[in-house]
Amino acid sequence: MEFDYDLFVIGAGSGGVRASRIAAGFGARVAVAEEFRVGGTCVIRGCVPKKLLVYASHFAEDFEMAKGFGWTVGETSFDWKTLISRKDAEIDRLNGLYIKTLEGAGVEIINGRAVVTGPNSVSLGGREITAKTILVATGGWPHMPDVPGIEHAITSNEAFHLDEQPKRIVVVGGGYIAVEFAGIFRGMGSDVTLLYRGEQIMRGFDDDLRDRLTIEMQRKGIDVRTGTNVTGIEKLDTGVHLTLTDGSTMEADAVMYATGRVPNTSGLGLEAAEVELGKGGAVKVDAFGKTNVDSIYAVGDVTDRVQLTPVAIKEGHAFALTVFGGTPTSPAHDAIPTAVFSQPPIGTVGLSESDAKEKYGDIDVYTSDFRPMKHTLGGSDERAFTKMIVDKSTGKVVGAHMIGVDAAEIIQGIGIAVKAGLTKAQFDATVAVHPSSAEEFVLMRTPRDN
Ligand code: NDP
């Protein structure tokens, strides 16, 4: 049978774009359908605009610190509208670059929502299109719990486009997005309350990092309330009125939910092709991204394995190599370095102390707690903390963690070493870069008493 395309990709986000481009490079006839904007969550309403906002919010602290270095900083002020419009212009530029890259690779971009109608067919705008292979790369969408009045809450999607900076904002959730946005708004001078239902924010991260992030966020004036959730939201002329689980109430200009993201599979027609879905509607795939239907694959957040852009990109690339490049490639999901752009940021790779203990039993833990040099004259009390977990039987570093200035930049290099399975002795044999915060990773000599 002759198909319209060799590959039809649904979703032009990080995973879909990479898969399309690489497959086209192998000579495949590729089309990608996108219902919003080419670039997907990360570029349009995620990692990229978020990081621009993180940069913007840090200046208040930088101006303060500059005084300690002899600078006289004049009166400063911050204009939300300027930031948002400049950020939007940059996102437009990147969106254009993504489109150009796809077109340059010979990929046809189709604007619209595609729905799967069978193992080799999709429908789009009333048109039936056939393809030898279909790749589902539709990503995820913010999950909002069922709370009365939830329609008055925003998510990170809307936070990027608010007309005004909320002077008082409540952030619900204790994961990546919650702590990042709490830091952003606080840096810009908003009163920020973070409500987390559990005992300690950032579940899944190393406990020491979780403790320290809480302390540093509180030091910056964020009201972190654990063991607390929202039971009801009412709209006021001036914002929102919240009722909390402890019976107390509070008012704010906005309430933002950062309570996880769910796979974007609803109404996608996957049932028509009998594609098996798992928990929360995630597309079930094998190690190569293949679903239970031979002609349908999925990559990225829609599979709900590791919700990170670089992972989706690796999965998209591996898919293209496997199906169109003649090289079956299964992307590894171990030792994935990741950063949280909280303030201060977190960088982490490998296992937390508790996970390492469970997996290896006998471990050594090395820690270092220090005041970054910039903060001595800068006058900030913010501290940095590094931690390494070593499997005693092999000497291998199985976890490396940091919270502090530049943690995201530092952990990328450390990630290579952990991924390569290097030992603590090999870290120790490496000469330190001095003076830096990164050098702690080669200078920690005495294991902590367990
Ligand atoms: P996360 O899964 O990181 O965190 C969700 C948070 O919401 C958790 O603290 C969770 O609590 C809480 N929560 C879940 N359901 C409810 C509920 N019904 N009521 C109250 N609280 C609730 O999700 P995010 O939305 O922060 O981010 C989604 C994903 O996007 C992340 O997992 C991450 O992979 C990715 N991301 C990565 C970034 C980066 O690389 N820097 C930046 C932003 C996002 P509990 O712990 O109790 O389950």
Domain that holds residue 85: 5-142+262-324
Residue-wise pLDDT for 176-195, tens only, equals 999 999 999 999 999 999 99
The verdict on the CB of residue 338 being under 6 Å from ligand 1 is yes
Question: Does residue 63 have a pLDDT over 90?
Answer: yes
* pLDDT for the residue numbered 123: 97
Do 250 and 280 lie in one domain? The reply is: no
Q: What is the mean pLDDT of residues 197-218?
A: 98
Do 232 and 294 lie in one domain? The reply is: no
Do 237 and 275 lie in one domain? The reply is: no
| Number of the ligand 1 atom closest to the C-alpha atom of 229 | 20
Residue-wise pLDDT for 256-272, tens only, equals 999 999 999 999 999 88
Q: What is the mean pLDDT of residues 237-248?
A: 96
**448 in a structural domain:** no
Do 214 and 232 lie in one domain? The reply is: yes
| Number of the ligand 1 atom closest to the C-alpha atom of 47 | 42
> How far from 140 is each of 42, 162, 433, CA to CA, in Å?
11, 21, 40
Q: What is the mean pLDDT of residues 419-425?
A: 98
Do 192 and 268 lie in one domain? The reply is: no
The verdict on the CB of residue 197 being under 6 Å from ligand 1 is yes
CA of 261 from ligand 1 middle (Å) equals 7
Do 125 and 224 lie in one domain? The reply is: no
| Domain count along the chain | 3
* pLDDT for the residue numbered 450: 64
Q: Which residues sit opposite 78 in a β-bridge? A: none
* pLDDT for the residue numbered 449: 82
Do 49 and 14 lie in one domain? The reply is: yes
Q: Which residue has the CA at smallest separation from atom 21 of ligand 1? A: 173
**316 in a structural domain:** yes
**333 in a structural domain:** no
Residue-wise pLDDT for 349-398, tens only, equals 999 999 999 999 999 999 999 999 999 999 999 999 999 999 999 999 99
Q: For residues 71 and 378, give the distance between their C-alpha atoms in angstroms, rounded to a whole number.
A: 11
The letter for the amino acid at 253 is D
**294 in a structural domain:** yes
Q: For residues 137 and 14, give the distance between their C-alpha atoms in angstroms, rounded to a whole number.
A: 9
Q: For residues 184 and 98, give the distance between their C-alpha atoms in angstroms, rounded to a whole number.
A: 27
Do 310 and 419 lie in one domain? The reply is: no
**450 in a structural domain:** no
% of the chain at pLDDT higher than 70: 100
CA of 273 from ligand 1 middle (Å) equals 31
Q: For residues 301 and 296, give the distance between their C-alpha atoms in angstroms, rounded to a whole number.
A: 16
Q: Which residue has the CA at smallest separation from atom 22 of ligand 1? A: 259
Q: What is the mean pLDDT of residues 315-340?
A: 97
Q: For residues 79 and 64, give the distance between their C-alpha atoms in angstroms, rounded to a whole number.
A: 18
The verdict on the CB of residue 174 being under 6 Å from ligand 1 is yes
| Residue 283 DSSP code | B
Catalytic residue list contains 434: yes
Q: For residues 428 and 64, give the distance between their C-alpha atoms in angstroms, rounded to a whole number.
A: 37
Do 401 and 363 lie in one domain? The reply is: yes
* pLDDT for the residue numbered 349: 98
Q: What is the mean pLDDT of residues 25-46?
A: 97
The residue from 58, 143, 241, 434 that is catalytic is: 434
| Number of the ligand 1 atom closest to the C-alpha atom of 308 | 34
Do 343 and 309 lie in one domain? The reply is: no
The verdict on the CB of residue 173 being under 6 Å from ligand 1 is yes
% of the chain at pLDDT higher than 90: 99
Q: Which among 4, 5, 11 is positioned nearest to 298, based on CA atoms?
A: 11
Do 119 and 169 lie in one domain? The reply is: no
**449 in a structural domain:** no
CA of 2 from ligand 1 middle (Å) equals 44
Angle (CA) 2 314 284, round 5°: 65
| Number of the ligand 1 atom closest to the C-alpha atom of 174 | 9
The verdict on the CB of residue 51 being under 6 Å from ligand 1 is no
**331 in a structural domain:** no
CA of 179 from ligand 1 middle (Å) equals 9
Pocket of ligand 1, candidates 259, 309, 342, 352: which has the most ligand atoms within 8 Å of its Cβ, to mutate? 259
Stated length of the chain: 450
* pLDDT for the residue numbered 393: 97
The verdict on the CB of residue 310 being under 6 Å from ligand 1 is no
Do 243 and 280 lie in one domain? The reply is: no
Q: Which residue has the CA at smallest separation from atom 39 of ligand 1? A: 340
* pLDDT for the residue numbered 355: 98
Collapsed DSSP state (helix, strand, coil) of residue 73: coil
Mean pLDDT of the chain: 97
Is residue 346 within 8 A of residue 358, CB to CB? The reply is: no
Residue 53 burial (CB < 10 Å; 0-12/13-18/19+)?
A: buried
Q: How confident is the model at residue 404 (pLDDT cuts 50, 70, 90)?
A: very high
CA of 262 from ligand 1 middle (Å) equals 10
* pLDDT for the residue numbered 1: 74
**98 in a structural domain:** yes
The CATH number of residue 310's host domain is 3.50.50.60
The verdict on the CB of residue 341 being under 6 Å from ligand 1 is yes
The CATH number of residue 395's host domain is 3.30.390.30
* pLDDT for the residue numbered 202: 98
**Reported pTM:** 0.97
Q: What is the mean pLDDT of residues 247-251?
A: 97
CA of 213 from ligand 1 middle (Å) equals 15
The verdict on the CB of residue 259 being under 6 Å from ligand 1 is yes
Number of helices and strands (H, E) in the chain? 13, 21
Q: How far is residue 171 CA from its own chain's centroid?
A: 17
Q: Which residue has the CA at smallest separation from atom 18 of ligand 1? A: 145
Residue-wise pLDDT for 269-315, tens only, equals 998 899 999 999 999 999 999 999 999 999 999 999 999 999 999 99
* pLDDT for the residue numbered 272: 85
Question: Does residue 323 have a pLDDT over 90?
Answer: yes
The verdict on the CB of residue 145 being under 6 Å from ligand 1 is yes
